[in-house]
């Protein structure tokens, strides 16, 4: 016996409902304050990663001796 899905649709196929949004309904542009905050967060992360990289380089030199 095979599964025909719901209401006779072939198995695995479903009807998808889409909702269209107009550009004026959504504000997709970030503000300058939001952009500054993202940049500041990324700079903090870059600084932390740079410090980790320097530590790893030091450890490699130490272990090579």
Cα dihedral angle (5, 9, 10, 15), rounded to 10 degrees? -100
Phi, psi of 62 (to 5 degrees): -60, -45
pLDDT band at 10, cuts 50/70/90?
low
Binning pLDDT at 50, 70 and 90, where does residue 17 land? confident
Share of the chain residues as helix, strand and coil, in percent rounded to the nearest 5:
60, 0, 40
Q: Can you give the pTM of this predicted structure?
A: 0.50
Q: What does the pLDDT look like over 29-64, one tens digit per residue?
A: 889 999 999 999 999 999 999 999 999 999 999 999
Contact 27, 21 (CB under 8 A): no
The answer on pLDDT for 1 being more than 60 is no
């Amino acid at each position: 016996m095979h599964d025909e899905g719901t209401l006779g649709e072939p198995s695995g196929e479903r009807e998808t409902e889409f909702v269209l949004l107009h550009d004026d309904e959504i504000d997709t542009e970030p503000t300058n304050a939001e952009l500054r905050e993202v940049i500041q967060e990324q700079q903090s992360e870059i600084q932390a990663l740079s410090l980790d990289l320097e530590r790893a380089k030091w450890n490699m030199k130490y272990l090579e001796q």
